[in-house]
Structure 1
Amino acid sequence: MSKIQKNRLKRIPKSAHKPNQTTLKVIKKELERVDKQLDKLVNSVAEWRQKRDLLLSAKRVGNVQAYTLMSELPELSKLNRKDIAALVGIAPMNRDSGSFQGKRYIRGGRHRVRTVLFVSMMSAIQCHPKLKPMYERLVTAGKPKKVALIACMRKQLTILNTMVKNNTYWDKKTA
């Protein structure tokens, strides 16, 4: 919503800027209040605090992604890599019948988690030490860019799932 207000400021006359700037300030204060409440809630439970710290130790994972994974994906660390990818909806499903071999596609799953992973991956493929080379390798091999992006999302989810499962922090040598 703040993005909408910022874009609106570019199009409206200067005389109408003040109400929109007031709205932006209200939105910013509300976001800060919600962030403080989330931090307070997570800090009150040791298990949640540990899980958040593990997730935030990974490269290119921020508060939004960590909190979304914690709230929308409580199965994180309890499932293997194939099951967690299928649960989120980023595992390729086949559409085969007899001798017919259809395309692989993703569908279903946890929409909010998939959306947050997608948005964060748009940034991660620019500079993540593990995911950028993987993305570039897949694209140069002829994969469509979105397919390569989804593969990187699955790789990141697998890394995060393993980190939380093994209770280990991000280590660039082993990740």
Structure 2
Amino acid sequence: MKKYVDVIGIDVSKLTIDAHIYNRGVHRVFSNTSKGYKALLSWVEKHLGKDLCFFCFENTGHYSTNLSVYLSENNIDYVEESPLTIKRSSGIVRGKIDQLDSAMIARYAWLYKEELTLSSPKAQDIQELGRLLSFREQLVRDRTGKMSSLKEMQTLLSSPSTDDCCIIVKKMIHYLTKQITTLEQSIKKLIRSDELLEKNYQLLNTLKGVGLILSCQLLYHTNNFKRFDSWRQFSSYCGVAPFEHSSGTSIYRKNRIHKIGDRKMKTLLTLASVSAIQCDKELKQYYEKKVAEGKPKLVALNNVRNKILSRAFAVVKRGTPYVELQKFAA
């Protein structure tokens, strides 16, 4: 990174942002709006003048998106970091208030400024894709809750009131299903509007076990395969990469996946791997081979998850669809 003289740590919440200039030791609260961002820049210029500085804040999803876009449009350097990374680098912290959090973020950014990489906002299409996927997930969760309620009602004794409730819940499930279908059509329309997004989506769909949602989540989390250099990095991000655990000569455990990871992606990859070993002969043989070698079924299934990721990155990198080689075996 450049030779900065100071850093501004920002704690982002729904309505406000707390800013802390590390070396100056000053703090102020602004609204989480365009007007607040403008006031923030004026405040920083008042204390630092033309000195070179950068901003650092946690990635808090929708709450921090507008701030990152505003800073990028004004050509201001910033780093959007994982909240867990900042938390684990801060040592023991007993209290929690926004002012303390902003100072903690500023301290982290200043100490690790040589190792940090400047951030940039995701493309507009990728941001829209993320919003649509997030809302679809919410609707699916609501529908699942209604289906559970319906199942519970149907186990009760039949009565006029119970029958009426079941009818209402069925209508709600039908309505939610229609809205989910409409959202999926909107997702497909959005993907078709971008040539590169459409190309990578079509390539991903040549993989067995990979459907609409997993393809879109891969495109979103990898920023259309620009965020990660290799499938191994993304595997670690998802929490499906095995890691060694040993110390000296007395402690040695089998390689295990770490509990830290994107649970949504891990779940989708699990569903995709279960589907793949049923409809993909190569992955089925690969899975059965690992089980025959004595590996637990969950470990073998995790190997299939990583196989799917390696294939996904391979087809996008090559720019050609996946070809099932067993079809052409003699």
In the superposition, the TM-score normalised over structure 1's length comes to: 0.89
Q: Retained in 2: the 8 A contact 1:57–1:170?
A: yes
By how many angstroms is 1:75 displaced?
6.7
Question: Do structure 1's residue 103 and structure 2's residue 254 form an aligned pair?
Answer: yes
Could you tell me which of 296, 299, 313 is aligned with 1:161? 313
Q: 1:63 and 2:204 equivalent?
A: no
Question: Which residue does 2:197 correspond to in 1?
Answer: 48
Quote the offset at 1:15 in angstroms. 3.1
The code of the aligned residue for 1:82 comes to R
Structure with the larger RCO, 1 or 2 (CA within 8 Å, 6+ apart):
1
Which stretch shifts more, 6-15 or 29-38? 6-15
How far apart are residue 104 of structure 1 and its match?
Answer: 1.3
SS of equivalent residue, structure 2 residue 243: coil
More off after superposition, 56-65 vs 4-13: 4-13
Identity of aligned residues (%): 25
Alignment deviations for residues 134-156 of structure 1 (CA, whole Å, 9 cap, x no partner): 11111122111111111110011
Does the aligned pair in 2 maintain the 1:59–1:170 contact within 8 Å? no
Task: Provide the residue aligned with 1:3 in structure 2.
Answer: 144
Match of 1:87 in 2: 237
Alignment counterpart, residue 280 of structure 2, candidates 109, 120, 128: 128
Deviation at 1:85, TM superposition (A): 2.0
Q: Is the 8 A contact 1:73 1:113 kept in 2?
A: no
Secondary structure, in 3 states, of the residue corresponding to 1:103?
strand
Partner SS for 1:104: strand
Residue 59 of structure 1, CA deviation: 1.4
Deviations 1:70-117 (A, max 9, x none): 112227375234323223221111111112322311122332222110
Q: Determine if contact 2:238/2:261 at 8 Å carries over to the other structure.
A: yes
Which has more radius of gyration? 2
Q: Which amino acid aligns with 1:33?
A: T
Aligned mates of 2:319, 2:326 — CA distance in 1: 14
Report the alpha carbon displacement of residue 51 of structure 1 after superposing the two structures with TM. 0.8
Q: Does 1:170 align with 2:317?
A: no
Rounded to whole Å, the distance in 1 between the matches of 2:274 and 2:232 is: 22
The structure where helix makes up a greater share of residues is 1
Tell me, what secondary structure is at the counterpart of 1:3?
helix
Stretches of structure 1 lacking an aligned partner (at least 5 in a row): none
In structure 2, runs of 5+ residues without a counterpart are 1-141, 154-161
Q: Deviating runs (4+, > 4 A) in structure 1?
A: none
Secondary structure of 2:281's aligned partner: coil
Letter in 1 for 2:256: Y
Alignment coverage as a number of residue pairs: 175
- Aligned-residue CA RMSD (Å): 2.1
